[in-house]
Amino acid sequence: MTRRYFGTDGIRGRVGKAPITADFVLKLGWATGKVFSETARGRKLILVGKDTRVSGYMFESALQAGLIAAGVDVGLLGPMPTPAIAYLTRTFRAQAGIVISASHNPFDDNGIKFFGSDGFKLDDALESRIEEFLDQPMETGLSEQLGRAHRVEDAAGRYIEFCKSTVPGGFTLNGLKLVVDCANGATYHVAPDVFTELGATVIPLSIEPNGLNINRDCGSTHTRALIQAVTHHQADLGIAFDGDGDRVILANHAGELVDGDEILYIIARHRLAREQNCPGVVGTLMSNHGLQLAFERLAIPFERANVGDRYVIEAMRRNGWSLGGESSGHIVCSDLTSTGDGIVAALQVLQAMVDTGKPVADLSSSMTKLPQVMINVKIAGKSRLDNNGPIQAAVANAEKALAGQGRVLLRPSGTEPVIRVMVEGPEHALVSRLATEVAEVVEKVLC
DSSP state letters, 25-53: HHHHHHHHHHHHHTT--S--EEEEEE-S-
DSSP H helices, 173-276, are 191-197, 224-233, 260-275
Question: Is the preceding omega at residue 19 within 30 degrees of 0, hence cis?
Answer: yes
Partners of 411 in beta bridges: 420
- Dist. CA 18–CA 247, nearest whole Å: 27
Annotated active-site residue 103? The verdict is yes
User: Quick one: pLDDT at residue 295?
Assistant: 97
User: Quick one: pLDDT at residue 52?
Assistant: 98
DSSP H helices, 329-378, are 342-356, 360-363
User: Quick one: pLDDT at residue 145?
Assistant: 94
Kindly list the distances between the CA atom of residue 183 and the CA atoms of 105, 163, 192, 230, 383, in Å, as whole numbers in the listed order: 11, 19, 12, 16, 31
User: Quick one: pLDDT at residue 396?
Assistant: 94
C-beta separation of 101 from 64 below 8 A: no
Q: What is the mean pLDDT of each run of 10 residues along the chain (447 residues)?
A: 80 96 98 92 93 98 98 98 98 97 96 96 93 95 96 96 96 98 98 98 98 98 97 98 98 97 98 91 94 95 93 96 97 96 98 98 95 90 74 94 91 82 94 95 87
Say which residues have a Cβ less than 8 Å from residue 444's Cβ, sequence separation at least 6: 390
Environment class of residue 150 by beta-carbon count within 10 Å: exposed (0-12), middle (13-18) or buried (19+)? exposed
Domains of the chain as residue ranges with CATH: 11-153 (3.40.120.10), 158-257 (3.40.120.10), 262-354 (3.40.120.10), 372-446 (3.30.310.50)
**180 phi and psi, to 5 degrees?**
-125, 110
Active-site hit among 55, 101, 103, 206: 103
DSSP state letters, 49-84: EE-S-THHHHHHHHHHHHHHHTT-EEEEEEE--HHH
C-beta separation of 173 from 102 below 8 A: no
User: Quick one: pLDDT at residue 383?
Assistant: 64
